[in-house]
Amino acid sequence: MTISIRPIQSRFAGEVSGIDVTRPLDAADVAAIEAGTDRYAVLVFHDQPLSDDQQRAFTRNFGTLEQAPGGHVAKPHERRLPPDMQDASNLDKEQRVFARDDRRRMFNLGNRLWHSDSSFRAVPAKYSLLSGRIVVDKGGHTEFADMRGAYDALDDATKAEVEDLVCEHSLLFSRGLLGFDVADDERAMFRPVRQRLVRTHPATGEKSLFLSAHAGSIVGWPVPEARGFLRDLTEHATQPGFVYSHKWRQYDLVIWDNRQTMHRVTRFNENLVRDMRRTTVAGDAMTVAQAA
Amino acid sequence: MPISITPLHRVFAGEVSGTDTTRPLLRDAVAAIEAGMDRYAVLVFRDQRLTDEQQLAFSRNFGALEETRGTGISTPGEQRLHPAFADVSNLDKDNKLLERDSRRRLYSLGNMLWHSDSSFKAIPAKYSILSGRIVTSAGGDTQFADMRAAHAALDDATKSEIDDLVCEHSLIHSRAMLGFTDLTPEDRATMRPVRQRLVRRHPATGGKSLYLASHIGAIIGWPVPEALAFIRDLTEHATQRQFVYAHKWRPHDLVMWDNRVTMHRVRRYDNALPRDMRRTTVAGTEMTVAQAGLAAE
């Protein structure tokens, strides 16, 4: 059976069939998935009951696994998953649901804000792969926004204005928006990095808006003006016409290209277990030189 | 000439004709405007060449006026207008444009966030009355969102979840959202958070509405990040296109809105052009937290 992709929206998000990603893939399959991701930015694979090792193996087809420290306030000994998997669940190491006021849960609530994974790293992520091991059936959707469509729909004056702007991204900013208190020893880990506001996709050459809740300033702008403008751009970029909302089924695997999308999770009842495991393909280039 | 109101939007906002607000109004005309406000929440009056005195006189038809002293950042000696006016311009005392990085301008950018005027006061505002003396044509629209329609469109589970929630509102919070933290200890004391119900009832119509504002920094009894994420979701719901009227200003428009049932914000505009907008504010008469028993329909 050969791989095929059914578009969910005209050129954004596709549903893949004809492939079992729990098994080794041949080069043609990998190329077809890469081409599909270039085109649709988000790919959905149903009925993929992956083990952690199978998820890692599948992910490595597309590059190196991101496992840099610094993305979370959970201490290494508190982690439920090894460092090459990001834990997007609401569970502690003993598989218990976090208490309502658990600090790790408070931190994870930042995922309710539109963001692009690892935009707070000098070299931001390429793909994220999220496996729904235990899903909730009310809420807990993952919503994706097409940053190419959002860029294309800007008027010419705004395109010209944003073309060469550079933003600073940090977890400090996104967590600050939710009033999360960052400890002093975490502050150094969250040092802002620079990213272009308009980036060009390395494979397709298409431009997209590189927005994220982590973006907290624009180099050379007064901060409140920058934040007001970034909010406006984010609102523009996440209009219903640019958004695909993924309602999870158990064992769905969703791949997205962080270089041309933002995403967020919607609210759900956190008394219920939601076990989502993410692997991340590291990017290979900075979008702009970092400040000295 | 009797007052008549033409709807400007599917769920709220109307344009008033047959009224000259520069002149004293008869009691019937005042009552007709109040009734129009109860129904439309936002009323637009075109071609009203008001002086400050006339705007004050018109506003006082609807109640006592708020004074701006003791709210916002202190700007002693910098006021351009009478203390009963909120200066929503981008001009300084000498009618010169504010510098890009001036503290007053950066503070005023908070008006780009959805809010309800004076929700940060224990007794929040009733009406705001905004006169467009010099308007900008590219950008600078004022958008309004109907918080009655937003409440009505919530699902039943959410309605019952929020019915008795109480929020804390403060200017410190809305400004912090834009990274504006340049506040003196006196400012911070002035801006101490106040409590407001999240669902309030209109005193005249009895209708419920969502009482949201970017000034909200907490929900009583909730962890802060969970509260703020939820308030963001509710705000996104409440400001969907079908609940929003965007007012494009013409010179000498007078726009009046009921803060008890709406939010509003200004859209970005070119700061190199003067925009002279003057607001009077009719004070409210009660605290929202005094509205007990809202759950009992």
- Predicted local distance difference test score (pLDDT) of residue B293: 53
| pTM (2 d.p.) | 0.96
A285 Cβ contact partners less than 8 Å away, ≥ 6 residues apart: A123, A202
Q: Does B224 touch chain A (CB under 8 A)?
A: yes
Look at residue A157 and tell me whether its pLDDT is greater than 50.
Answer: yes
A106 and B101: CB-CB below 8 Å?
A: no
What pLDDT band is residue B292 in, cutting at 50, 70 and 90?
A: low
Mean pLDDT of B149-153: 98
**Minimal Cβ distance to A216: which of B179, B226, B228:** B179
Q: Write a three-state SS string for A62-118.
A: CCCECCCCCCCCCCHHHCCCCCCCEECCCECCCCCECCCCCHHHHHHHHHHCCECCC
Q: Does B231 touch chain A (CB under 8 A)?
A: no
B225 and A109: CB-CB below 8 Å?
A: yes
Mean pLDDT of A44-62: 98
Q: How much is the ipTM here?
A: 0.96
Please tell me whether residue A182 adopts helix, strand or coil conformation. Answer: coil
Residues B122-139 pLDDT 10s:
999 999 999 999 999 889
If phi over 0 gives left and psi between -120 and 50 gives alpha, with beta otherwise, what is residue A108? alpha
A228 and B178: CB-CB below 8 Å?
A: yes
How far apart are alpha carbons A55 and A52 in whole angstroms?
A: 5
A177 and B228: CB-CB below 8 Å?
A: yes
What pLDDT band is residue B1 in, cutting at 50, 70 and 90?
A: low
Residues belonging to chain A with any Cβ–Cβ distance to chain B shorter than 8 Å: 100-101, 106-107, 109-110, 112-113, 175-180, 216-217, 222-229, 231-232, 266-267
Torsion over CA: A109, A112, A113, A119 (sign): positive
- The amino acid present at B208, given as its one-letter code, is K
A60 Cβ contact partners less than 8 Å away, ≥ 6 residues apart: none
Rounded to whole angstroms, what are the CA distances from A79 to A72, A104, A121?
10, 10, 21
DSSP letter at B282 equals B
Least confident of B72-76, B150-154, B195-199, B257-261: B72-76
Here the tokens at position A193 are 């990095």
Q: List phi, psi (to 5°) of A87.
A: -90, 105
Mean pLDDT of B247-275: 97
| Closest CA of chain A from B3, distance in Å | 37
Residues A88-99 pLDDT 10s:
999 999 999 999
Find how far residue A134's CA is from the centre of its chain. Answer: 19
How far apart are alpha carbons B2 and A291 in whole angstroms?
A: 66
Preferred mutation among A102, A108, A223 to probe B, highest tally of B CBs within 10 A: A223
DSSP string, B216-271: EEEETTS-HHHHHHHHHHHHHHHTSGGGEEEEPP-TT-EEEEETTTEEEEEPPB-T
Average pLDDT of the residues of chain A: 96
Here the tokens at position B148 are 């009655």
Least confident of A9-18, A24-33, B67-76, B161-170: B67-76
Contacts with B177 from chain A: Cβ below 8 Å: 177, 227
Mean pLDDT of A106-118: 97
